[in-house]
Amino acid sequence: MNGAVIPNTPIAVDFWRVRRCPHSRIFFLSHMHADHTAGLTSSWNSYTIYCSVITKKLLTAKLHVKSELVVGLPLYEPVTINLDEVGRETMTVTLVDANHCPGSVMFIFEGYFGRILYTGDFRFCDRLLKYSAIKGKQFDTLYLDNTYCHPKCFFPTRSNATTTVVEIIRNHPQHTIVIGLHSLGKETLLYDIAVACKCWIGMDPSRSETMELVGMPQVFTCDVDSTRIRVVSFQEVNKRNIDLWNSKEPTIAILPTCLYVGGSNPYENVPNVFVVPYSDHSSFEELKAFVSDIRPRKIIPIVHKHRLSADENPNSRVNMNIFQSLMEPSSSQKFSVPPSVECFMAPEMKQDVKKRMKATTKLGIRKVAKSRKACGVVFLPSQEECEEQKFCGWANGDFEDKENTDSERGDGVAKEIDIQERHDSMFSPMKNDRESGSGVVADNKGVAINDNSRDKVGSVYFILKEGFELMVPERKRVIELTKMKKY
Ligand SMILES: [Zn+2]
Protein backbone atom coordinates (compact mmCIF):
# COMPACT_ATOMS: atom_id res chain seq x y z
CA MET A 1 0.00 0.00 0.00
CA ASN A 2 1.52 3.30 -1.08
CA GLY A 3 -0.17 5.91 1.03
CA ALA A 4 0.60 8.23 3.90
CA VAL A 5 -0.96 9.75 6.97
CA ILE A 6 0.29 13.33 7.28
CA PRO A 7 1.58 13.67 10.85
CA ASN A 8 -0.20 16.10 13.19
CA THR A 9 -3.00 16.70 10.72
CA PRO A 10 -6.35 15.01 10.02
CA ILE A 11 -5.15 14.30 6.46
CA ALA A 12 -4.57 10.87 4.93
CA VAL A 13 -3.61 10.27 1.30
CA ASP A 14 -4.11 6.90 -0.40
CA PHE A 15 -4.39 5.36 3.05
CA TRP A 16 -7.55 3.39 3.85
CA ARG A 17 -6.77 1.33 6.94
CA VAL A 18 -8.87 3.52 9.19
CA ARG A 19 -8.06 1.51 12.29
CA ARG A 20 -4.44 2.38 11.76
CA CYS A 21 -5.13 6.10 11.40
CA PRO A 22 -7.72 6.87 14.10
CA HIS A 23 -6.99 10.61 13.87
CA SER A 24 -7.52 10.93 10.11
CA ARG A 25 -10.71 12.67 9.04
CA ILE A 26 -9.99 13.97 5.54
CA PHE A 27 -9.07 11.41 2.91
CA PHE A 28 -7.52 11.99 -0.49
CA LEU A 29 -7.08 9.57 -3.37
CA SER A 30 -4.35 10.41 -5.87
CA HIS A 31 -5.36 7.86 -8.53
CA MET A 32 -7.04 4.53 -9.07
CA HIS A 33 -4.13 2.11 -9.15
CA ALA A 34 -4.62 -0.84 -6.83
CA ASP A 35 -1.56 -0.14 -4.70
CA HIS A 36 -3.13 3.22 -3.81
CA THR A 37 -6.64 1.96 -3.14
CA ALA A 38 -5.73 -1.09 -1.02
CA GLY A 39 -8.38 -1.35 1.69
CA LEU A 40 -10.85 0.94 -0.06
CA THR A 41 -14.02 -0.96 -0.93
CA SER A 42 -17.72 -0.43 -1.56
CA SER A 43 -18.26 -0.66 2.20
CA TRP A 44 -16.34 2.58 2.78
CA ASN A 45 -18.59 4.52 5.09
CA SER A 46 -16.19 6.61 7.08
CA TYR A 47 -15.33 10.03 5.71
CA THR A 48 -15.45 12.08 2.54
CA ILE A 49 -12.90 11.17 -0.11
CA TYR A 50 -11.44 13.97 -2.22
CA CYS A 51 -9.97 13.20 -5.65
CA SER A 52 -10.07 14.36 -9.26
CA VAL A 53 -13.31 14.31 -11.24
CA ILE A 54 -12.11 11.39 -13.39
CA THR A 55 -10.98 9.39 -10.37
CA LYS A 56 -14.41 9.90 -8.83
CA LYS A 57 -16.01 8.36 -11.93
CA LEU A 58 -13.68 5.37 -11.75
CA LEU A 59 -13.99 4.98 -8.00
CA THR A 60 -17.76 4.83 -8.05
CA ALA A 61 -17.97 2.70 -11.20
CA LYS A 62 -15.18 0.22 -10.48
CA LEU A 63 -14.98 -0.01 -6.69
CA HIS A 64 -18.62 0.99 -6.15
CA VAL A 65 -17.78 3.46 -3.40
CA LYS A 66 -20.87 5.52 -2.55
CA SER A 67 -21.01 8.56 -4.77
CA GLU A 68 -22.17 10.83 -1.94
CA LEU A 69 -18.93 10.14 -0.08
CA VAL A 70 -16.70 11.18 -2.97
CA VAL A 71 -15.97 14.75 -4.01
CA GLY A 72 -14.37 15.34 -7.40
CA LEU A 73 -12.25 18.47 -7.27
CA PRO A 74 -11.18 20.61 -10.23
CA LEU A 75 -7.56 20.82 -11.36
CA TYR A 76 -5.36 23.86 -10.64
CA GLU A 77 -7.95 25.65 -8.47
CA PRO A 78 -7.25 26.04 -4.74
CA VAL A 79 -10.15 24.61 -2.76
CA THR A 80 -10.77 25.41 0.91
CA ILE A 81 -11.48 22.50 3.23
CA ASN A 82 -12.36 22.70 6.92
CA LEU A 83 -9.90 21.12 9.31
CA ASP A 84 -12.35 21.05 12.19
CA GLU A 85 -16.05 20.78 12.91
CA VAL A 86 -16.74 24.51 12.92
CA GLY A 87 -14.61 25.91 10.11
CA ARG A 88 -12.33 27.85 12.43
CA GLU A 89 -9.28 26.22 10.91
CA THR A 90 -9.04 25.61 7.18
CA MET A 91 -6.54 24.56 4.55
CA THR A 92 -6.40 24.84 0.80
CA VAL A 93 -5.77 21.93 -1.50
CA THR A 94 -4.82 22.31 -5.13
CA LEU A 95 -4.86 19.40 -7.57
CA VAL A 96 -2.28 19.21 -10.34
CA ASP A 97 -2.22 16.68 -13.19
CA ALA A 98 0.37 14.03 -12.25
CA ASN A 99 0.91 12.86 -15.85
CA HIS A 100 0.67 9.25 -14.68
CA CYS A 101 -2.69 7.66 -15.58
CA PRO A 102 -6.21 9.02 -16.23
CA GLY A 103 -7.39 11.03 -13.23
CA SER A 104 -4.04 10.94 -11.42
CA VAL A 105 -3.17 14.09 -9.50
CA MET A 106 -0.67 15.63 -7.15
CA PHE A 107 -1.96 17.41 -4.05
CA ILE A 108 -0.66 20.70 -2.71
CA PHE A 109 -1.80 21.23 0.88
CA GLU A 110 -1.42 24.61 2.56
CA GLY A 111 -2.39 25.25 6.16
CA TYR A 112 -1.11 25.56 9.73
CA PHE A 113 1.26 22.69 8.89
CA GLY A 114 3.03 24.66 6.17
CA ARG A 115 3.05 23.76 2.50
CA ILE A 116 3.11 20.12 1.40
CA LEU A 117 3.44 18.70 -2.09
CA TYR A 118 2.23 15.12 -2.35
CA THR A 119 3.17 13.85 -5.80
CA GLY A 120 1.39 10.49 -5.79
CA ASP A 121 2.70 8.51 -8.76
CA PHE A 122 3.88 10.91 -11.44
CA ARG A 123 5.87 11.18 -14.64
CA PHE A 124 7.92 14.32 -14.70
CA CYS A 125 7.50 16.77 -17.56
CA ASP A 126 8.67 20.36 -17.91
CA ARG A 127 5.16 21.80 -17.77
CA LEU A 128 4.81 20.56 -14.17
CA LEU A 129 7.22 23.24 -13.03
CA LYS A 130 5.26 25.96 -14.78
CA TYR A 131 2.01 25.53 -12.85
CA SER A 132 1.39 28.51 -10.60
CA ALA A 133 0.62 26.17 -7.69
CA ILE A 134 4.20 24.88 -7.88
CA LYS A 135 6.34 27.50 -9.58
CA GLY A 136 8.36 29.59 -7.14
CA LYS A 137 6.72 28.04 -4.06
CA GLN A 138 8.71 26.88 -1.06
CA PHE A 139 7.55 23.43 0.04
CA ASP A 140 8.17 22.33 3.59
CA THR A 141 7.62 18.69 2.75
CA LEU A 142 7.68 16.82 -0.53
CA TYR A 143 6.11 13.36 -0.56
CA LEU A 144 7.86 11.85 -3.55
CA ASP A 145 7.08 8.99 -5.92
CA ASN A 146 10.33 7.08 -5.48
CA THR A 147 9.38 4.08 -7.63
CA TYR A 148 12.48 4.50 -9.79
CA CYS A 149 14.63 6.44 -7.38
CA HIS A 150 17.89 4.74 -8.25
CA PRO A 151 20.69 5.76 -10.64
CA LYS A 152 20.11 2.48 -12.49
CA CYS A 153 16.63 3.62 -13.46
CA PHE A 154 17.33 5.35 -16.71
CA PHE A 155 14.79 5.08 -19.51
CA PRO A 156 13.50 7.03 -22.52
CA THR A 157 10.66 9.49 -22.74
CA ARG A 158 7.21 8.08 -23.36
CA SER A 159 7.27 9.58 -26.83
CA ASN A 160 10.44 7.65 -27.73
CA ALA A 161 9.08 4.46 -26.14
CA THR A 162 5.87 4.84 -28.19
CA THR A 163 7.96 5.09 -31.36
CA THR A 164 9.70 1.83 -30.41
CA VAL A 165 6.37 0.06 -29.87
CA VAL A 166 5.02 1.26 -33.22
CA GLU A 167 8.20 0.10 -34.98
CA ILE A 168 7.89 -3.38 -33.46
CA ILE A 169 4.29 -3.60 -34.70
CA ARG A 170 5.22 -2.40 -38.17
CA ASN A 171 8.07 -4.93 -38.32
CA HIS A 172 5.55 -7.74 -37.75
CA PRO A 173 2.86 -7.05 -40.37
CA GLN A 174 1.70 -10.68 -40.47
CA HIS A 175 1.50 -11.13 -36.72
CA THR A 176 -1.26 -10.70 -34.23
CA ILE A 177 -0.12 -8.17 -31.63
CA VAL A 178 -0.94 -8.72 -27.97
CA ILE A 179 -0.24 -5.84 -25.57
CA GLY A 180 -0.03 -6.71 -21.86
CA LEU A 181 -1.30 -3.97 -19.54
CA HIS A 182 -2.58 -3.48 -16.05
CA SER A 183 -6.21 -2.44 -15.70
CA LEU A 184 -5.54 1.31 -15.79
CA GLY A 185 -2.76 3.29 -17.44
CA LYS A 186 -1.09 3.67 -20.85
CA GLU A 187 -4.37 4.58 -22.55
CA THR A 188 -2.54 7.30 -24.47
CA LEU A 189 -0.07 4.73 -25.77
CA LEU A 190 -2.95 2.62 -27.10
CA TYR A 191 -4.46 5.64 -28.79
CA ASP A 192 -1.12 6.56 -30.38
CA ILE A 193 -0.70 2.99 -31.65
CA ALA A 194 -4.21 3.02 -33.13
CA VAL A 195 -3.54 6.25 -34.96
CA ALA A 196 -0.03 5.32 -36.14
CA CYS A 197 -1.05 1.83 -37.32
CA LYS A 198 -4.53 2.89 -38.50
CA CYS A 199 -5.98 -0.04 -36.62
CA TRP A 200 -8.66 -0.59 -33.99
CA ILE A 201 -7.46 -1.79 -30.59
CA GLY A 202 -9.38 -4.81 -29.28
CA MET A 203 -10.13 -5.14 -25.57
CA ASP A 204 -12.58 -6.66 -23.12
CA PRO A 205 -15.79 -4.78 -22.16
CA SER A 206 -14.46 -3.78 -18.74
CA ARG A 207 -11.42 -2.01 -20.18
CA SER A 208 -13.60 -0.51 -22.88
CA GLU A 209 -15.86 0.91 -20.16
CA THR A 210 -12.79 2.44 -18.52
CA MET A 211 -11.81 4.08 -21.80
CA GLU A 212 -15.24 5.62 -22.02
CA LEU A 213 -15.21 6.79 -18.39
CA VAL A 214 -11.88 8.57 -18.80
CA GLY A 215 -12.98 10.18 -22.05
CA MET A 216 -10.57 8.54 -24.50
CA PRO A 217 -11.32 8.96 -28.22
CA GLN A 218 -13.15 5.99 -29.67
CA VAL A 219 -10.45 3.88 -31.31
CA PHE A 220 -11.26 0.74 -29.36
CA THR A 221 -13.45 -2.27 -30.01
CA CYS A 222 -14.70 -5.21 -27.94
CA ASP A 223 -14.81 -7.33 -31.11
CA VAL A 224 -11.26 -8.63 -30.65
CA ASP A 225 -11.46 -10.93 -33.67
CA SER A 226 -11.97 -7.97 -35.98
CA THR A 227 -8.52 -6.49 -35.37
CA ARG A 228 -4.94 -7.75 -35.17
CA ILE A 229 -4.00 -5.65 -32.12
CA ARG A 230 -5.58 -6.45 -28.78
CA VAL A 231 -4.99 -5.76 -25.11
CA VAL A 232 -4.70 -8.50 -22.49
CA SER A 233 -3.85 -8.34 -18.81
CA PHE A 234 -0.17 -8.05 -17.97
CA GLN A 235 -0.21 -11.42 -16.20
CA GLU A 236 -1.58 -13.19 -19.27
CA VAL A 237 1.68 -12.65 -21.09
CA ASN A 238 3.67 -15.75 -20.20
CA LYS A 239 5.44 -18.52 -22.05
CA ARG A 240 2.50 -20.90 -21.93
CA ASN A 241 0.10 -18.38 -23.46
CA ILE A 242 2.64 -17.25 -26.03
CA ASP A 243 2.97 -20.85 -27.19
CA LEU A 244 -0.80 -21.27 -27.16
CA TRP A 245 -1.42 -18.11 -29.20
CA ASN A 246 1.30 -19.06 -31.69
CA SER A 247 -0.18 -22.51 -32.14
CA LYS A 248 -3.21 -20.75 -33.66
CA GLU A 249 -1.58 -17.84 -35.51
CA PRO A 250 1.74 -15.96 -35.49
CA THR A 251 1.62 -13.73 -32.41
CA ILE A 252 3.97 -11.39 -30.61
CA ALA A 253 3.43 -9.80 -27.21
CA ILE A 254 4.54 -6.32 -26.15
CA LEU A 255 4.97 -5.34 -22.51
CA PRO A 256 5.34 -1.57 -22.13
CA THR A 257 6.98 -1.36 -18.71
CA CYS A 258 10.12 -0.24 -16.91
CA LEU A 259 9.72 -2.80 -14.13
CA TYR A 260 12.85 -4.61 -15.19
CA VAL A 261 15.06 -1.62 -15.94
CA GLY A 262 18.34 -1.98 -14.09
CA GLY A 263 17.51 -5.54 -13.07
CA SER A 264 16.90 -8.91 -14.62
CA ASN A 265 14.24 -9.27 -17.28
CA PRO A 266 12.25 -12.50 -16.82
CA TYR A 267 11.18 -12.37 -20.49
CA GLU A 268 14.73 -12.12 -21.80
CA ASN A 269 14.74 -15.65 -23.18
CA VAL A 270 11.05 -15.89 -24.00
CA PRO A 271 10.61 -15.74 -27.79
CA ASN A 272 8.08 -13.36 -29.31
CA VAL A 273 7.91 -11.12 -26.20
CA PHE A 274 9.14 -7.52 -26.43
CA VAL A 275 9.59 -5.53 -23.24
CA VAL A 276 9.65 -1.82 -24.07
CA PRO A 277 10.76 0.68 -21.39
CA TYR A 278 7.60 2.78 -21.38
CA SER A 279 7.01 4.34 -17.97
CA ASP A 280 4.29 6.33 -16.25
CA HIS A 281 6.74 7.05 -13.41
CA SER A 282 9.69 9.44 -13.44
CA SER A 283 13.19 8.19 -14.14
CA PHE A 284 15.94 8.90 -11.65
CA GLU A 285 17.24 11.77 -13.74
CA GLU A 286 13.75 13.26 -13.93
CA LEU A 287 13.33 12.98 -10.17
CA LYS A 288 16.58 14.87 -9.71
CA ALA A 289 15.45 17.57 -12.14
CA PHE A 290 12.13 17.87 -10.28
CA VAL A 291 13.67 18.05 -6.81
CA SER A 292 16.38 20.50 -7.85
CA ASP A 293 13.71 22.86 -9.14
CA ILE A 294 11.33 22.44 -6.20
CA ARG A 295 14.09 22.52 -3.57
CA PRO A 296 11.92 21.27 -0.69
CA ARG A 297 13.01 21.36 2.94
CA LYS A 298 12.21 17.71 3.50
CA ILE A 299 11.44 14.65 1.35
CA ILE A 300 9.42 11.62 2.35
CA PRO A 301 9.25 8.63 -0.02
CA ILE A 302 5.77 7.24 -0.66
CA VAL A 303 6.67 3.83 -2.11
CA HIS A 304 8.12 1.33 0.32
CA LYS A 305 8.08 -1.91 -1.63
CA HIS A 306 10.08 -2.21 -4.81
CA ARG A 307 10.98 -4.80 -7.34
CA LEU A 308 14.74 -4.73 -6.89
CA SER A 309 17.58 -6.24 -8.83
CA ALA A 310 19.59 -8.91 -7.03
CA ASP A 311 22.52 -6.63 -6.26
CA GLU A 312 20.42 -3.66 -5.12
CA ASN A 313 20.36 -2.52 -1.52
CA PRO A 314 16.74 -2.95 -0.28
CA ASN A 315 16.80 0.54 1.21
CA SER A 316 18.39 2.29 -1.73
CA ARG A 317 15.16 3.67 -3.23
CA VAL A 318 13.79 5.04 0.03
CA ASN A 319 16.99 6.84 0.98
CA MET A 320 16.15 10.47 0.27
CA ASN A 321 19.58 11.67 1.41
CA ILE A 322 20.53 11.18 -2.19
CA PHE A 323 18.80 14.53 -2.85
CA GLN A 324 20.40 16.37 0.08
CA SER A 325 22.39 18.80 -2.06
CA LEU A 326 19.24 19.74 -3.98
CA MET A 327 17.18 20.71 -0.94
CA GLU A 328 16.77 23.81 1.17
CA PRO A 329 17.91 23.57 4.80
CA SER A 330 15.15 22.28 7.04
CA SER A 331 13.28 24.92 8.99
CA SER A 332 13.64 25.18 12.75
CA GLN A 333 10.11 26.58 12.91
CA LYS A 334 7.69 24.11 14.43
CA PHE A 335 3.96 24.29 13.94
CA SER A 336 1.44 23.43 16.61
CA VAL A 337 -1.91 21.80 16.04
CA PRO A 338 -4.75 24.29 16.63
CA PRO A 339 -7.06 23.21 19.48
CA SER A 340 -10.13 22.91 17.23
CA VAL A 341 -8.21 20.59 14.89
CA GLU A 342 -6.98 18.57 17.81
CA CYS A 343 -10.54 18.12 18.96
CA PHE A 344 -11.56 17.18 15.40
CA MET A 345 -8.87 14.52 15.38
CA ALA A 346 -9.84 13.03 18.72
CA PRO A 347 -10.71 9.36 18.29
CA GLU A 348 -14.38 8.75 17.84
CA MET A 349 -16.40 6.16 19.55
CA LYS A 350 -17.73 3.82 16.94
CA GLN A 351 -21.43 3.17 16.67
CA ASP A 352 -21.16 -0.47 17.66
CA VAL A 353 -19.19 0.47 20.77
CA LYS A 354 -21.83 3.08 21.55
CA LYS A 355 -24.51 0.42 21.33
CA ARG A 356 -22.57 -1.90 23.59
CA MET A 357 -22.02 1.01 25.97
CA LYS A 358 -25.73 1.62 26.09
CA ALA A 359 -26.52 -2.04 26.64
CA THR A 360 -23.87 -2.33 29.32
CA THR A 361 -25.09 0.76 31.09
CA LYS A 362 -28.55 -0.73 31.23
CA LEU A 363 -27.06 -3.91 32.58
CA GLY A 364 -25.18 -1.89 35.18
CA ILE A 365 -28.30 -0.07 36.30
CA ARG A 366 -30.15 -3.33 36.64
CA LYS A 367 -27.36 -4.68 38.77
CA VAL A 368 -27.38 -1.53 40.86
CA ALA A 369 -30.98 -2.17 41.73
CA LYS A 370 -30.01 -5.56 43.10
CA SER A 371 -27.00 -4.41 45.06
CA ARG A 372 -26.93 -2.40 48.21
CA LYS A 373 -24.56 0.20 46.87
CA ALA A 374 -23.07 0.43 43.41
CA CYS A 375 -19.44 1.45 43.33
CA GLY A 376 -16.65 1.56 40.83
CA VAL A 377 -12.97 2.19 40.98
CA VAL A 378 -11.41 4.78 38.75
CA PHE A 379 -7.94 6.25 38.70
CA LEU A 380 -7.95 9.93 38.03
CA PRO A 381 -5.41 12.09 36.22
CA SER A 382 -4.46 15.45 37.65
CA GLN A 383 -5.80 18.68 36.17
CA GLU A 384 -2.37 19.52 34.77
CA GLU A 385 -2.13 16.16 33.11
CA CYS A 386 -5.60 16.53 31.70
CA GLU A 387 -4.66 19.80 30.09
CA GLU A 388 -1.23 18.71 29.06
CA GLN A 389 -2.48 15.60 27.35
CA LYS A 390 -5.72 17.17 26.09
CA PHE A 391 -7.39 14.18 27.58
CA CYS A 392 -10.92 14.15 26.27
CA GLY A 393 -12.37 10.83 27.33
CA TRP A 394 -11.69 7.88 29.46
CA ALA A 395 -12.59 4.27 29.89
CA ASN A 396 -15.00 3.06 32.40
CA GLY A 397 -16.07 -0.28 33.75
CA ASP A 398 -18.96 -2.02 35.32
CA PHE A 399 -17.78 -2.44 38.87
CA GLU A 400 -20.16 -2.84 41.73
CA ASP A 401 -18.11 -3.64 44.75
CA LYS A 402 -15.86 -1.30 46.59
CA GLU A 403 -13.59 -3.86 48.11
CA ASN A 404 -9.99 -4.28 46.99
CA THR A 405 -9.38 -0.59 46.59
CA ASP A 406 -6.87 0.82 49.01
CA SER A 407 -4.95 -2.33 49.62
CA GLU A 408 -4.45 -3.34 46.02
CA ARG A 409 -4.32 -0.15 44.07
CA GLY A 410 -0.57 0.15 44.21
CA ASP A 411 0.57 3.74 43.88
CA GLY A 412 -2.62 4.90 42.32
CA VAL A 413 -5.30 7.03 43.85
CA ALA A 414 -8.69 5.50 43.47
CA LYS A 415 -12.08 6.96 43.86
CA GLU A 416 -15.27 5.13 44.49
CA ILE A 417 -18.12 6.29 42.38
CA ASP A 418 -21.56 4.96 41.80
CA ILE A 419 -22.98 3.85 38.51
CA GLN A 420 -24.80 7.09 37.85
CA GLU A 421 -21.75 9.21 38.48
CA ARG A 422 -19.66 7.13 36.19
CA HIS A 423 -22.30 7.34 33.54
CA ASP A 424 -22.43 11.11 33.82
CA SER A 425 -18.72 11.60 33.76
CA MET A 426 -18.13 9.25 30.88
CA PHE A 427 -16.30 10.93 28.01
CA SER A 428 -16.19 14.27 29.76
CA PRO A 429 -12.92 16.02 30.50
CA MET A 430 -11.85 15.10 33.98
CA LYS A 431 -12.05 17.72 36.67
CA ASN A 432 -10.10 16.46 39.55
CA ASP A 433 -6.95 17.65 41.18
CA ARG A 434 -5.89 14.37 42.60
CA GLU A 435 -2.69 12.89 41.40
CA SER A 436 -2.89 9.94 39.15
CA GLY A 437 -0.88 6.84 39.59
CA SER A 438 -0.45 3.40 38.25
CA GLY A 439 -1.85 0.41 39.96
CA VAL A 440 -4.11 -2.56 39.87
CA VAL A 441 -7.43 -3.06 41.49
CA ALA A 442 -8.78 -6.53 41.70
CA ASP A 443 -12.49 -6.89 41.69
CA ASN A 444 -14.91 -9.74 41.63
CA LYS A 445 -15.66 -8.86 38.02
CA GLY A 446 -12.23 -7.96 36.76
CA VAL A 447 -9.15 -5.89 37.12
CA ALA A 448 -8.59 -2.20 36.47
CA ILE A 449 -5.21 -0.96 35.48
CA ASN A 450 -4.25 2.65 35.27
CA ASP A 451 -1.69 3.10 32.58
CA ASN A 452 0.33 6.07 33.66
CA SER A 453 2.91 5.98 30.93
CA ARG A 454 3.72 9.34 29.42
CA ASP A 455 1.50 9.12 26.37
CA LYS A 456 -1.43 7.62 28.19
CA VAL A 457 -1.76 9.65 31.35
CA GLY A 458 -5.19 9.22 32.75
CA SER A 459 -6.02 6.13 30.75
CA VAL A 460 -7.96 3.64 32.77
CA TYR A 461 -8.16 0.08 31.60
CA PHE A 462 -10.62 -2.40 32.88
CA ILE A 463 -10.13 -6.04 32.19
CA LEU A 464 -13.39 -7.72 32.90
CA LYS A 465 -13.94 -11.34 33.54
CA GLU A 466 -15.77 -13.41 31.01
CA GLY A 467 -19.41 -12.57 30.59
CA PHE A 468 -19.16 -8.87 31.46
CA GLU A 469 -19.35 -6.15 28.90
CA LEU A 470 -16.54 -3.72 28.41
CA MET A 471 -17.15 -0.01 28.30
CA VAL A 472 -14.29 1.66 26.49
CA PRO A 473 -14.69 4.79 24.39
CA GLU A 474 -11.75 4.31 22.09
CA ARG A 475 -11.00 1.48 19.78
CA LYS A 476 -7.32 1.89 20.50
CA ARG A 477 -7.92 1.11 24.10
CA VAL A 478 -10.04 -1.87 23.20
CA ILE A 479 -7.08 -3.23 21.28
CA GLU A 480 -4.77 -2.56 24.16
CA LEU A 481 -7.21 -4.15 26.51
CA THR A 482 -7.29 -7.24 24.37
CA LYS A 483 -3.56 -7.48 24.70
CA MET A 484 -3.72 -6.87 28.38
CA LYS A 485 -6.23 -9.64 28.87
CA LYS A 486 -3.36 -12.05 28.48
CA TYR A 487 -1.84 -10.36 31.46
ZN1 LIG B 1 0.08 4.44 -10.13
Ligand 1 center to residue 184 CA distance, Å?
9
Ligand 1 center to residue 334 CA distance, Å?
32
Query: Whose CA is closest to 15, among 384, 304, 361?
Result: 304
Amino acid at 484: M
pLDDT at 355: 54
Ion ligand 1 — residues with CB under 5 Å? 33, 121
Ligand 1 center to residue 146 CA distance, Å?
12
Which residues, in sequence order, are bridge partners of residue 406?
none
Global pTM reads 0.71
Ligand 1 center to residue 298 CA distance, Å?
23
Q: Which residues of the chain have pLDDT under 70?
A: 305-315, 348-487
> Is the CB of residue 57 less than 8 Å from the CB of residue 14?
no
Report the alpha-carbon distance of residue 295 to residue 324 in Å, rounded: 10
Q: What are phi and psi of 428, to 5 degrees?
A: -100, 150
Ligand 1 center to residue 162 CA distance, Å?
19
Query: To which H or E segment does residue 357 belong?
Result: helix 351-370
Q: What number of other Cβ atoms are within 10 A of residue 347's Cβ?
A: 14
Ligand 1 center to residue 302 CA distance, Å?
11
pLDDT at 126: 92
In three state form, how does the secondary structure of 176-233 look?
A: EEEEEECCCCCHHHHHHHHHHHCCCEECCHHHHHHHHHCCCCCCEECCHHHCCEEEEE
Beta strand 70-73 with 105-111 is: unpaired
Sheet holding 229-233, edge to edge: 220-221, 201-202, 229-233, 176-181, 251-256, 273-276
Ligand 1 center to residue 271 CA distance, Å?
29
Tens-digit pLDDT profile for residues 17-36? 999 999 999 999 999 999 99
> Is the CB of residue 96 less than 8 Å from the CB of residue 108?
yes
